[in-house]
A and B are shown apart, each in its own frame.
Chain A
Amino acid sequence: MMIFLCFLLCSAGLAMQALCEPKMLRFAKLQQSNPSSIFRIGRYACLLLALFMSFWFQPVTAIFLWAGAFSLSVLAVSLGWAVLARYREVSR
């Protein structure tokens, strides 16, 4: 359960990171504007919250849990972003 929660939080944080990154916006052909401060703060907040929760609920395995969840989230978000980019490219 904790792993899943950590994974969700990391994924949310990384998705916000993607929304703040001009290169990622260009790739998905999304409108480039100044990212909202919610995204800019949220990308760090989500990752830190996941780390905090890992340490709070499972202190022995916290680092492993967080690092693993982060790695898998990167994979999930990058795959999702690639699918989104492809979809937007095809539907244009």
Chain B
Amino acid sequence: MSSYGASTRKAVRQRTPSPTPKWIGRGVLSLVLAWIFAHFVTLGSPHWGPGTRHDAVIFGQMIAIGLFPILFLIAFGTKNPVRGAVFVGIACIAAASGLLFER
């Protein structure tokens, strides 16, 4: 590749506007979705968790805290933001459906 091509590419890269505002929005959306998931898991855990209510809540909190960063990174990190949001949104619906269980 010629040096001219390389410098043009460099110049183009410099002119590309910073995607910071877009990423802030994405970060907020990811945070909200991951938080909703974690909240529903803890809220629903007495319905589906093992043992007594205390044990079930503890179990739910273990899962919520473990999955929160993973879902946050998935929602934020996917190339297509809609895909990440949809994936975590489905996880939220699954977590919310835990509230329907009756023991």
Q: Does A touch B (CB under 8 Å) in the complex?
A: no
A: which residues have CB within 8 A of B? none
